[in-house]
Amino acid sequence: MENARIKILIGITLFFSLVLLVTCVGCGSDEEVEQKTEETSLEIKKDSFTGKPNKIVYWNRRKEFNDMNDTHLSAALQIGIRPLASRKDIPDASRKLYLICGNMGFVGPEPYVVDRLTHSTPYLVKDAADLLVEIGKNFQDSLRNKHISAHSIVVTSVLRTDEDVKKLSKRNVNASQRSVHCYGTTFDISYKRFMKHDKSAADARDVDLIAVLGEVLRDLKKEGRCYVKHEVKQACFHITARGRQ
């Protein structure tokens, strides 16, 4: 009888130890969770048989998108314009510039929206303008395939003239005098703000939207279409077109 009670007590102790162990797995401080959310994104992989959303895997945006300024600049020098002194010089740019806002004649939802620009103007060379449209359309196609509600990407910075750079330097000491934005090849896309199309549709998680956008950019980068830098302070992807290879 005594042996039976001992066995029962041992069994109960082992059971609660196991419950405690399972509960603690994956736990972390709020600070650790916040840091992981900031530094990583989610990649949603599809099941190879059904084509439906399957496993969600963390990956590091900072490591994946870390093309430095000199790399962006080398591409900008090849396909971009000569930097402009002021916005009044846009019509006389060394290469044709395309306005990327207003009524663009898109069929269906707009692939992107342009934010209220304070230190840049919405013009790009053709290769960069085409790339922006492709990013936006691929993003929406991918959302649809993953059964996530429709959103548009938000463009936060585009072409800067010398005057724009000087004004920005007064507010931001880190503003580069060799800004790649001066060549019409470069634009920034927010990874914290997206424009939802249908307000009545289910809300999408920010981490999922970032994941899909990152997946789109990674594919285009692998194809040699662009360089990408993950900007932390500006909360954006800094993208320079490379032109079609």
Sorted by where each begins, the domain ranges of the chain are 65-241
CA 237 to each of CA 38, 57, 150, 203, 223: distance values in angstroms, whole numbers, following the listed order: 14, 20, 20, 23, 17
Q: Which of 66-70, 114-118, 181-185, 212-216 has the highest mean pLDDT?
A: 181-185
Query: What's the average model confidence in pLDDT over 9-15?
Result: 54
More confident residue, 63 or 59: 63
| Chain-centroid distance, C-alpha 179 | 20
- % of the chain residues with pLDDT over 70: 69
Burial 55-78 (b: 16+ CB within 10 A, else e): eeeeeebeebbebebeebbebbee
Q: From CA 227, how far away is CA 166, in angstroms rounded?
A: 25
Share of residues in the chain with pLDDT > 90 (%): 53
**Mean predicted lDDT score pLDDT of the chain:** 79
Instruction: Provide mean pLDDT across the span 39-67.
Output: 58
Whole-Å CA distances, 98 to 41, 126, 132: 32, 7, 12
Asked if the model's pLDDT at residue 172 lies above 70, the reply is: no
105 or 161, which is more confident? 161
Residue 70 pLDDT exceeds 80: yes
Of residues 200 and 100, more confidence is placed in: 100
pTM of full prediction above 0.85: no
Phi (first) and psi of residue 36, to 5 degrees:
-65, -40
Q: What is the pLDDT of residue 56?
A: 46
Nearest C-alpha neighbor of 135 from the set 155, 158, 160: 155
What b-and-e string marks burial along 21-42, b requiring 16 or more CB atoms within 10 Å of the CB?
Answer: eeeeeeeeeeeeeeeeeeebbb
Identify which has the larger pLDDT, 59 or 94. Answer: 94
pLDDT of residue 167: 85
